[in-house]
Amino acid sequence: MNLSKKQTDTKEKIEVIAKLLDLDPSWTVAIAMVESSLGEHQRSPTGCRGVFQMSTIAMKDLLISMESYDDDMIDIMCGVLFIRLLLKRWKTWEGAISHFCDPADWTFYLDRVKKYRKQFNLF
């Protein structure tokens, strides 16, 4: 998979933070790829923001105000921390991923994450 310089930089940031938080970088990068194609400063029509398309509810779960949520590293750190929180709650990557997306779409979403994970050859 060919990534732009900015996507490669974002991917590397995610990998570093994931490793610091003892998470598998391949899953976290794949989730970010599905959410935003590793694009920073993304906004969805529903108000989700950043590389991981974090919602206001998810950010409140992490106790961080959305008003201060414009820094790339904070964006990535919050996304990875939220994934870590979900993994701790649900014990498996599949369980965590099922709570990261719309429950109605989780099978499709999980298949896309697995596809990107395989394309990045990170496992």
Range 20-24 average pLDDT: 92
Give domain status of residue 123, yes or no.
no
Burial of 20: CB neighbours in 10 Å, binned 0-12, 13-18, 19+: exposed
- Does the predicted model carry a pTM greater than 0.95? no
Radius of gyration of the chain (CA): 13
pLDDT (0 to 100) of residue 66: 52
Give domain status of residue 121, yes or no.
no
**What's the CATH code of the domain at 99?**
1.10.530.10
Beta partners for residue 43, in sequence order: 49
Range 69-81 average pLDDT: 77
CB count within 10 Å of CB 1 equals 8
The DSSP 8-state label assigned to residue 70 in this structure reads: -
pLDDT (0 to 100) of residue 70: 59
Q: What gap in Å lies between CA 118 and CA 121, rounded to an integer?
A: 5
Q: Which of 29 and 76 is assigned the larger pLDDT?
A: 29
Domain hosting residue 43, numbered range: 5-116
Q: State how many domains the chain has.
A: 1
Burial of 43: CB neighbours in 10 Å, binned 0-12, 13-18, 19+: exposed
10's tokens: 């974002």
